[in-house]
Amino acid sequence: MPFSRISLRHGKSADYLRALSDSLQRALVDTFDVPEDDRFQIIHQLAEHELIFDRHYRGGPRSDDYVLFDITTGKTRSNAQKQAFYLRLTALLAESPGIRPQDVMIVVSNSHGDDWSFANGEPAAPAA
């Protein structure tokens, strides 16, 4: 049950954003064993002064096409799963919508089932 926030510079087309979203979902399904219909994403398009990033820190060089994926998952994934996810997502994004791997930053955080309520104020999992 991942929840994803995607942040990038303002000005991309609806088709570009859909390709971004679809690539993320495909990578989650392929590597994190996420069901196809478990899709909760928010895309933030920000002005240049609202998305501040270093163009060379631990990678790069980053361009104006830099994208940050901030993903919260409901269960812990192994290091091998996360590495497979990082590689799969960057490969899919290179195919569509054409983002260079140097422009992709990914942050994966974990939470517990009782930290989530999908509807009706009911927790997704009982508190332990």
Catalytic residue numbers?
Answer: 2
CA atoms of 26 and 23, how far apart (whole Å): 5
Cross-sheet strand order for the sheet of 3-9: 41-46, 3-9, 67-73, 104-110
Give me 108's structure tokens: 């994966």
Q: How far apart are the first and last CA of the chain?
A: 18
